[in-house]
Amino acid sequence: MVKLPHTNLDSSRIIYGCMNIGGSWDDSKISNDAINNTLELVSTALENKINFFDHADIYCRGKSEEVFSNIWRELDIKREKIIIQTKCGIRFPGFPNSDSPQRFDFSYDHIMYSVDASLKRLKTDYIDILLLHRPDPLVEPVEVAKAFNELNDSGRVKYFGISNHNRFQIELLQNFLSVPLIANQLEFNIVHNYLANEGITFNNSQSQMIHGYGTLEYCRLNDITIQAWSPLGKGKFLNGENFPDETSKNVFDQLKAIADNHNVTPEAIAVAWILRHPAKMQSVVGTTNVERLKNICKGSSINLTREEWYKIFNAGRGERLP
């Protein structure tokens, strides 16, 4: 467990991501299979010392939050024993009007509506952490600040953060907020390594077109915990066969060799690689396979050497260091 900066929360390094536990992304009802699988997954997470559960209002169109609420009755879990995080800001096309486009919405009205709907689906009185899901080009920071203040003052949300934001977007918001942004959920894994690779390729002929503007370093300087989503790269470097490219195969070979030395599986090493970074990141894992979740959790107890970390990093880069 680690104490999350700017909070009184003691959290696991691994976060369980609840994106797909609702079953399907349509308007169908929640199935008994989805309920039973969710209960088994949450039980497994808790048994393996995961106490942090990540949601979003859009996941399975709200069904992921709804199915999760079965834990209160079926598992008899005390609310204060776990951390619940959810997100808002992404809106599906066709709502509220048939011609409404897909869009991002950080307006005061939508933030308040989304949080109240999530609280109802989750069957809880409060959310520990609320994240703004993806940057809204039309954001009015004053409206965000108004919503955050009301949610915090009323006890509906304890802490706030963002997801998929770069350092300048964070600075813009923080300039208007009276509460600190405590987390930034960003895609980061061995092949999607731009957060770490940016500092190496800066001012070099290998410089990439994807720019984070020092977001990793900015978050470290301001004690904003990075939550790495898609830590297993959607399995592209873990399937052991039919790799999409040579880089993925090379990553798997490195992971397998190091995993064998530690007597764990490659997915455990993939997570350990993220947790080894000195930014003290968390890793958001969303598998719905109970056995894979157990294997992944072993990664939190492995501290890779500098040499092991770089072997994996180099494989993921697909080219030699400058």
Where b means 16+ CB within 10 Å and e means fewer, 22-55 reads: bbeeeeeebeeebbebbbebbebbbebebbbbbb
Question: How far apart are the C-alpha atoms of 35 and 47, rounded to whole Å?
Answer: 18
Is the residue at 137 inside a domain? yes
Is the residue at 248 inside a domain? no
Is the residue at 307 inside a domain? no
Q: What is the mean pLDDT of the chain?
A: 95
Are 166 and 212 in contact, with CB atoms under 8 Å apart?
yes
pLDDT-derived band at 73 (thresholds 50, 70, 90) equals very high
pLDDT-derived band at 207 (thresholds 50, 70, 90) equals low
Question: How far apart are the C-alpha atoms of 67 and 154, rounded to whole Å?
Answer: 26
pLDDT-derived band at 205 (thresholds 50, 70, 90) equals low
Is the residue at 96 inside a domain? yes
Q: What DSSP letter does each residue of 66-98 carry, written as one string? A: HHHTHHHHHT---GGGSEEEEEE-EE-TTSSST
- Specify the number of domains making up the chain: 1
Q: What DSSP letter does each residue of 169-195 carry, written as one string? A: HHHHHHTT-SS-EEEEEEE--SSS-HH
Is the residue at 226 inside a domain? no
pLDDT-derived band at 200 (thresholds 50, 70, 90) equals confident
Q: Which two tokens stand for residue 109?
A: 């009205």
Is the residue at 212 inside a domain? no
Question: How far apart are the C-alpha atoms of 292 and 169, rounded to whole Å?
Answer: 35
Q: What is the pLDDT of residue 265?
A: 97
* Residue range(s) defining the domain that contains residue 58: 2-187
Which tens digit of pLDDT belongs to each residue from 85-138?
999 999 999 888 889 999 999 999 999 999 999 999 999 999 999 999 999 999
Is the residue at 151 inside a domain? yes
Average pLDDT over residues 171-193: 97
Torsion of CA 312, 316, 320, 322, to 10 degrees: -100
Which tens digit of pLDDT belongs to each residue from 268-299?
999 999 999 999 999 999 999 999 999 999 99
Q: Could you tell me the CATH number of the domain that includes residue 86?
A: 3.20.20.100
Are 5 and 182 in contact, with CB atoms under 8 Å apart?
yes
Question: How far apart are the C-alpha atoms of 283 and 262, rounded to whole Å?
Answer: 20
Is the residue at 61 inside a domain? yes
Q: What is the pLDDT of residue 258?
A: 98
Which positions ≥6 away from 115 have C-beta within 8 Å? 86, 88, 127, 130, 151, 156, 157
